[in-house]
Structure 1
């Protein structure tokens, strides 16, 4: 059995030194590739990297070095430029230090003494300033010639670190403040064994090949333009067709499930955002403007507009549940450093819906949403898992309401027979939620859909329905988005399929290539009939060789290529190259149209 490197008590991780110091006994954490073990390991590897940087760049000063989803990083300042080409040298120094097997020691300093020790290091002073007062002591972890303020947890020794890799270098504003100094940030990854590291690095290479920014540019799906502004996507015709195909499938499914389309304005008076709690709890993520000396907030969410739809008339218990949906455009203030293609933007469109129901209807509605979600994700070949996120520190409402809502979500998942994890403190400020996490074709996990139970906004806006006893009652509001946003979901889809989109959503489903001008009229007839039947086809009649036109279609990742020559024209046949099945076939004209029409309807949500 591997070495014990820590313990876990009530979701809190302690390294062996802290556990011994505090006399704690809990669930053992072994040195392996479990989530808790990797957390300790990667935190320590960040310090190992910092020690190596300090050895190579003695003037280096360090800010913070946390564990993140993609491994770990450290932010630091040096007097010279460090580039990608320097990572190998830093990594080599890390291996050299790790082989020495330095012991990691935790000790404490009174806050005032720590301030004095690091008085010439403004980055350390910034770190100290952000540490809560607590018992007046600050913990420091020391290894060899390197030490840093840190609460841990850490490995007992560096000799355990044998499988790590520095992955990238970037700039990072001090404390995430765009007005502050730009520091250097180096990312890395670590595992318990070399095999797991190599597997991860292969996944990383495959991810680079599938990067939606690269594939999207090659396929002419979308673009960004600094003249317009960062984080604001421009959808090109092919990308807009891809979106439309997904929207059409989703819209049909929503109609069949009893959802009604609605639309709210994109700017609302700030007074309504104050009433909802967004102004206090979400204001830093919003944009504001002033019209006629009145402040307005550009909506970051669609829920208030849907509340106003609910309030537009008197509601009876017979009306419930009411299901409203909107492909709502929202804006959120994202710092420029975190913008990332379509995955992190400042304007996006949510596949948003809000359900207003009676408390007794919560479980059934949540189960219906889960069933809907499963159908959509299965259609795209995603595996998925679900997680309940509970009340965050910054939130509104009574504990009792939160507990009722959380239990309702647990009950719904239990009734559906779905295993779930708990993310303590990860809920929205107005209610707990189910987060839907999907796994793509190369094993990466993505946060997409969400289901949120909200009893707070109905209370704040005094929503009512008349019960069967003619008594006003407060409805429950369920917020739900399955894709999350079209931008983010399309980015994930692009990388999941590597741009090889399934036929039913591909931006161009068929490219028709007439061999010569005699076949052009036949090609146009075919395209017209395909378009009438919901299949998007294009003609490539450029003055280029047949082979080059076929290669161009393949580069565009078009699922099917039709080549029309004089023989096909004479016999009214269709010569088809199916790029997905790697097959060539000959079809009767009418039968081809019929099968393509059916192929577009093979998938439904």
Structure 2
């Protein structure tokens, strides 16, 4: 793999197992010991402050538990873990974190006020996330100590975790280092290092992570308040929101699965960037993202970084996905360019064009976050009493498209933020309509209070890629402000001028982001209707090459993608194998018999032999399967 990025990262996904090994850890680098020394100094000050608060207030607080149980505790002293022991030893041994007044808490974090407390175990999604996330800290600590890694981010996923870190330009984890890294993780677990939560000021954060450009960027971009939390665990000191387990011993053991390359750009990067990722077979994902499919910037290209260019094979899938991308202001002007009547509503407009967003270089990521992208964002201008039916139709359309692509999804309803614009009664009605539509829709959804846009509430669509990473894709947004700012009006039933409601509707969202998720999901084996490699025609010998070209032209004349492999330097079996590795959905092999009978001998990319069919019949069946967009054309042929 070629690397052109200044800050490549190594990502090591993992999952848990059992076992205890021993490994020799090198002498830690100076920056690591200096960071730990500063953390210990700040930790001692925080412990002293907390002790003083507990002694000064010596105040009893009231604790409410699920089921109506009540308990008393001491402010700044009692922890959720102590409460769990008072309830039962089983709960104390199985709890991984607590929810305190709606906020996730470490079990050893002292309570400060009257609290509603709920305990989380590994059986809950939140508990799993805490467990996996604590494991990333162990992996990060091992990478720092063994490899001198500069840590980036280490999130949990639905079924495990991974960690991103930087080892130096051109440096990656060697295969021989993975077992050693895993052994160090096991030793850190066996040592039962406590997770210690420190609240640090912005200046203290900058001092703690002065040697880590990734953390400095996160502090700059994400830390909006006067303080943020840092966790210490053994020699590890990391910027993290938490919560975590009480100590590493609760993890029990972990197993490193694989490594992959990922990318994080920075504004000072001047060298060309090639988007690529590598995952080993044992991870259950796909080693693909071929250089001949997509590149964000090729050497010598004048295209700016993060402006994607489709190569021939990627263009097929991209253009197939391009439904109806958008231009919000232009559609408002189109609505306003002449008088409108209620009879024209709902008016649905869509436009196809490139969009640009001034993304910070540190947030760019392959096809999933770009500065230039396309979006299938239609705009629906409707009356208030048409809102409910339009939202239902948009949700039905969304479900139909995602089912076609083979994705499950989860919806989120975001309601008015504190700084909303417009009239409260319009917001109330809109939120009620969206809520009712989601209830009737029947798919899982979450409520996100105060997370809507300032101009209206919205429904966001989230799906996960093959690595378990979440992506926000489609969206349905209500907008009261653009119609107001553009002075949009229509003549109502009674002749009075009324203002329309605007619905922004994107099903795929960013076409490039959806394509990136699809690439991971398909694992190189695209369904026929979306595939850039539909059919390859393979003549047995030079004598059949002319007929093979005729077959290829027949495929292309009907709109199918047909390639020809007449490489006389390779045997037939080698060319068949090459077609399978390239994931062509079908191979049409033609020999002397097929030429004389005007037939083709058909194989699939999984080496299923479908036998001999007439050329006309074979092409007709492919067209039928493509037009019906079946996900398994090879099985249904």
TM-score, length basis structure 1: 0.72
Tell me the residue number matched to 1:450. Answer: 475
Matched, 1:590 2:616: yes
2:306 to 221, 231, 236: 231
Matched, 1:40 2:130: yes
Matched, 1:347 2:420: no
1:54: Cα distance to partner? 7.6
Deviations 1:363-406 (A, max 9, x none): 21121122112222222222222222334567654555444333
Deviations 1:261-301 (A, max 9, x none): xx9xxxxxxxxxxxxxxxxxxxxxxxxxxxxxxxxxxxxx7
Matched, 1:13 2:86: no
Deviations 1:434-483 (A, max 9, x none): 22223556766543211112122222222211110111111111111111
1:321: Cα distance to partner? 0.7
Q: 2:208, 2:465 → 1: CA distance?
A: 48
Tell me the residue number matched to 1:459. Answer: 484
Q: 1:6, 1:604 → 2: CA distance?
A: 45
Matched, 1:215 2:215: no
Where 2:116 maps in the other structure, the secondary structure is coil
Where 2:394 maps in the other structure, the secondary structure is helix
- Count how many residue pairs are aligned between Structure 1 and Structure 2: 518
Q: 1:521, 1:342 → 2: CA distance?
A: 40
1:319-468 matches, within 5 Å, as: 319-392=344-417, 396-397=421-422, 400-439=425-464, 445-468=470-493
Residues 94 and 324 (structure 1), Cα distance of their counterparts in 2 relative to 1, 3 Å cut = same
Q: 2:344, 2:124 → 1: CA distance?
A: 49
Q: 2:196, 2:466 → 1: CA distance?
A: 42
Tell me the residue number matched to 1:277. Answer: none
Q: Structure 2 unaligned runs (5+)?
A: 1-89, 270-278, 632-637
Q: 1:340, 1:95 → 2: CA distance?
A: 32
1:167-206 matches, within 5 Å, as: 178=267, 205-206=283-284
Deviates more, 1:399-408 or 1:428-437: 399-408
| Preserved contact between residue 172 and residue 337 of structure 1 (Cα < 8 Å) | no
Deviates more, 1:13-22 or 1:325-334: 13-22
Tell me the residue number matched to 1:132. Answer: 225
Deviations 1:181-239 (A, max 9, x none): xxxxxxxxxxxxxxxxxxxx9998233x34xxx33336x46563153332122212222
Q: Structure 1 unaligned runs (5+)?
A: 181-200, 252-262, 264-300
Residues 216 and 391 (structure 1), Cα distance of their counterparts in 2 relative to 1, 3 Å cut = farther
Tell me the residue number matched to 2:57. Answer: none
Residues 575 and 171 (structure 1), Cα distance of their counterparts in 2 relative to 1, 3 Å cut = closer
Deviations 1:563-600 (A, max 9, x none): 22222222222222233571231112332333222222
| Preserved contact between residue 328 and residue 352 of structure 1 (Cα < 8 Å) | no
Where 1:591 maps in the other structure, the secondary structure is helix
1:356: Cα distance to partner? 0.9
1:247-266 matches, within 5 Å, as: 247=322, 250=323
Residues 54 and 548 (structure 1), Cα distance of their counterparts in 2 relative to 1, 3 Å cut = closer
Provide the aligned C-alpha RMSD in A: 4.3
Q: 2:538, 2:152 → 1: CA distance?
A: 58
1:49: Cα distance to partner? 5.8
| Preserved contact between residue 46 and residue 74 of structure 1 (Cα < 8 Å) | no
1:493-532 matches, within 5 Å, as: 493-532=518-557
Residues 479 and 522 (structure 1), Cα distance of their counterparts in 2 relative to 1, 3 Å cut = same
Tell me the residue number matched to 2:3. Answer: none
Deviates more, 1:96-105 or 1:408-417: 96-105
1:118: Cα distance to partner? 9.7
Q: 2:240, 2:552 → 1: CA distance?
A: 65
Tell me the residue number matched to 1:487. Answer: 512
